[in-house]
Amino acid sequence: MKNSIKTLVVIALTTIMALPSYGQSKWGHIGGDFGFNGMFYIPDSTIGAREVKEKVRANTWLNLNYTNGGFSAGVRYEFYSFPLIDFEDIGYKGQGLTNYYLDYKNEFIQVTAGTFYEQFGNGFTLRAYEDRQLGIDNSILGARVKVTPYKGITLKGVWGIERKNFDFDYLHRKDYVRGLDGEFSFGDFIPKLGEKGFVLTVGGSFVSKYEKSENDMFIDYPDPLADGIIYADKIPQNIATWAARLNFGYKGFRLEGEFAHKNNDPNNTNGYIYKTGNALLVTASYSMKGLGVEASFIRSDNMDFRSQRDISASTPLLGINYIPAVNRQYTYMLLGNYAYASQPNGQIGVQAQVNYKVPKNTKLGGKYGIDITVNYARFHDVEQKLVPDAAASNMQIGTEGYTSSFFKFGDNLLYQDVGIDFSHRFNNKNWKLDLAYNFITYNLTILQGHASPLFRGHNLMGKVTYKINNKHALKLEIDHLYAKEDDGSWLYALLEYSIAPHWFISVSDQWNYGNEDRDRRFHYYNIAAAFVIKSTRIALNFGKTKEGILCIGGVCRSVPASYGAGLSVTTSF
């Protein structure tokens, strides 16, 4: 049954898609992308790179999209049966048609049937998205309608089942998600507002998850006295969240805010407590030519929201919403090893940033000016006072858990970052220099789950780019992290030679020279080459990867140590 449905879908879609492309362009257009990421693994017990039985592993996908006027359709096939080991570790293993959709859109309405991605506001109540590098794909299979009844009003409705890696047994799923979102832009109703430089948008969303609860839940704890039982009729089957948001702007000034609330949702990530959750994000910014200032406040408490209540917090699987980590993201190598991961179930903090440009054609700024960024971020956990029930039995399961005063910072510092960076192109425009200094404090115990004192690191990064001529350029990056905790100090250097627009060759080394254990002062070297032609990229690399965390957009997952040679081919067409 399942297979024949799939077969039908494939035949129908490919016919729709393939036939017109043989014709003229009035029959529409086909585009897509293809990716292959493979690696040949070599075991190396010193750094913890384990033996991989198949030796070679790869992730492969093909995406095809057909558009013709307001109509579009698409399919994606993913082949991850023998995936890269870090994908296998998070259960992203299997193969199949993961995405297929039909979509029609005009000025007034958009209707989608099949798989889709969607976000309401900041994503506090709903964010279906994908990050192929992290192995996150929580697309929704179902239907979506977007309506614009009047310019400035957008209404959306969604219903569907979230993707759970390669488990396509949708007929037996006992959970689904439905949601509504509306946004009103006042500038479109009151043209005078816009003319005077005002922007005012308000929005709201409501999302509810249904998950059948048939069985009593027995929760094992290492201590048998603490085992808990929650009876099936006590488990909420419908869990609602709502959020309200505002965006106000006047000339260069902008104020944005969103508040979300979640009903009681006992689940694995919060220890099966009945507490409600909430989140608040407020951001104010001011910008003008040459200057930008931004400050944010975020608090989220018990906001981990998943399609299935037994999913553990250690995987990004089946997340319905998204609570961002609002600190600045760095692309420097060594700071990446201590990137802050958002804590939807308990974080409170601030982030502030100033971007300034020393003007061009001044004594200090030279011909091209100097870009300066100053940044500060600090996040704590939220205060937790056990409710009497929980305090009496010393376990939170099945109780309201804890209470927490809203604006109070918890006792545990999670992350702090103070930093400044400069970027300058010299009067001889072929030379460019980037310098950055950061002091970070990082709570390894809470953020990476291994007991350790607070990590404090001073990071200094310098990068010089020299354009030899129109096409040839040389880049040298040196990054130093001074620390006493965890693995101690690190030194990283990268030398890259590029011939625009086709060739890149680089060598790099990450050296843990400051490790207290002399036998663990490893070199993680890497040699890489890439060839790019238009939107096709072919890259080869050979080297070692350290065990650690990989973070993109504040979402992190652990990566195992590895050693070997990789080949990556990606193309868009």
Partner 1 sequence: MKKILILAIALLMCGQMAAQENNSSRIPTVDLKTLDGDAFSTKQMYTGEHPFIVSLWATWCMPCREELDAISLVYEDWVEEFGVTLYAVSIDDSRSASKVAPFVRAKGWDYVVLQDINSDFKRALNVVDVPFLCIFDKNGNMVWSHTSYAAGGEEEVYEVLKSLEK
Enumerate residues 441-500 that contact partner 1 by CB under 8 A. Answer: 465, 467, 469-473, 475, 498-500
Element (DSSP H or E) covering residue 445 = helix 444-447
The only residue of 143, 409, 537, 538 in contact with partner 1, by rule CB under 8 A: 537
Please report how close the Cβ of residue 67 comes to partner 1 at its closest, in angstroms.
6
> Does the footprint of partner 1 cover residue 275 (CB under 8 A)?
no
Nearer to partner 1, 190 or 291 (CB): 291
Nearer to partner 1, 210 or 531 (CB): 531
Please report how close the Cβ of residue 140 comes to partner 1 at its closest, in angstroms.
12
Please report how close the Cβ of residue 504 comes to partner 1 at its closest, in angstroms.
6
Nearer to partner 1, 272 or 322 (CB): 322
Q: What 3-state class would DSSP assign to 548?
A: strand
- The window from 38-46, 303-311, 487-495, 528-536 that contacts partner 1 (CB under 8 A) reads 528-536
The owner of tokens 């959750």 is 277
The only residue of 292, 365, 514, 560 in contact with partner 1, by rule CB under 8 A: 292
For 418, the token pair is: 């103070």
Interface positions, 5-64, toward partner 1 (CB under 8 A): 6-7, 10-11, 14, 17-22, 24-25, 29-33, 35, 62-64
Nearer to partner 1, 60 or 307 (CB): 60
What x/- string results for residues 189 through 208 when contact with partner 1 is judged by CB under 8 A? Answer: ----------x-x-------
> Does the footprint of partner 1 cover residue 296 (CB under 8 A)?
yes
- The window from 114-122, 164-172, 300-308, 448-456 that contacts partner 1 (CB under 8 A) reads 114-122
The owner of tokens 């808990």 is 228
> Does the footprint of partner 1 cover residue 293 (CB under 8 A)?
yes
What x/- string results for residues 124 through 163 when contact with partner 1 is judged by CB under 8 A? Answer: ---x-x--x-------------------x-x---------
Q: Is-contact 359 236, C-beta < 8 A?
A: no
Closest CA to 506 of 498, 515, 514, 517: 498
Please report how close the Cβ of residue 402 comes to partner 1 at its closest, in angstroms.
27
CA 247 – CA 255 distance, rounded (Å): 6
The only residue of 267, 269, 283, 347 in contact with partner 1, by rule CB under 8 A: 283
Q: Which residues pair with 503 in a beta bridge?
A: 499, 531
Distance between alpha carbon 570 and the CA centroid of its chain, in Å?
A: 21
The only residue of 291, 391, 392, 476 in contact with partner 1, by rule CB under 8 A: 291
How many residues are there in the chain?
573
Return the DSSP state at 49: B
CA 303 – CA 531 distance, rounded (Å): 43
CA 95 – CA 1 distance, rounded (Å): 18
Return the DSSP state at 55: S
CA 384 – CA 405 distance, rounded (Å): 8
Element (DSSP H or E) covering residue 315 = none
Nearer to partner 1, 551 or 561 (CB): 551
Return the DSSP state at 470: S
Nearer to partner 1, 70 or 149 (CB): 70
> Does the footprint of partner 1 cover residue 286 (CB under 8 A)?
yes
Please report how close the Cβ of residue 189 comes to partner 1 at its closest, in angstroms.
13
The only residue of 65, 278, 489, 545 in contact with partner 1, by rule CB under 8 A: 65
> Does the footprint of partner 1 cover residue 379 (CB under 8 A)?
no
> Does the footprint of partner 1 cover residue 427 (CB under 8 A)?
no
Please report how close the Cβ of residue 453 comes to partner 1 at its closest, in angstroms.
28
* DSSP code string of 146-175: EE-SSTTEEEEEEEEEE--TT---GGG--E
- The window from 81-89, 267-275, 308-316, 323-331 that contacts partner 1 (CB under 8 A) reads 323-331
Distance between alpha carbon 48 and the CA centroid of its chain, in Å?
A: 26
The only residue of 256, 265, 301, 421 in contact with partner 1, by rule CB under 8 A: 256
Nearer to partner 1, 185 or 270 (CB): 185
The only residue of 156, 178, 328, 544 in contact with partner 1, by rule CB under 8 A: 328
What's the longest Cα–Cα distance across the chain?
Answer: 75
Please report how close the Cβ of residue 462 comes to partner 1 at its closest, in angstroms.
14
CA 19 – CA 7 distance, rounded (Å): 18
The only residue of 83, 114, 160, 187 in contact with partner 1, by rule CB under 8 A: 187
Please report how close the Cβ of residue 348 comes to partner 1 at its closest, in angstroms.
16
For 493, the token pair is: 């250097």
Phi/psi of residue 316, nearest 5 degrees: -80, 10
Q: Is-contact 126 158, C-beta < 8 A?
A: yes
- C-alpha dihedral over 393, 398, 400, 403, to 10 degrees? 60
Phi/psi of residue 439, nearest 5 degrees: -115, 120
- C-alpha dihedral over 533, 538, 542, 547, to 10 degrees? 110
Please report how close the Cβ of residue 479 comes to partner 1 at its closest, in angstroms.
13
Interface positions, 552-571, toward partner 1 (CB under 8 A): 553-554, 570-571
Closest CA to 525 of 513, 512, 511: 511
For 352, the token pair is: 């502030």
Nearer to partner 1, 230 or 556 (CB): 556
| Through-space distance between the first and last CA atoms of the chain, rounded to whole angstroms | 34
Nearer to partner 1, 226 or 341 (CB): 341
Distance between alpha carbon 564 and the CA centroid of its chain, in Å?
A: 27
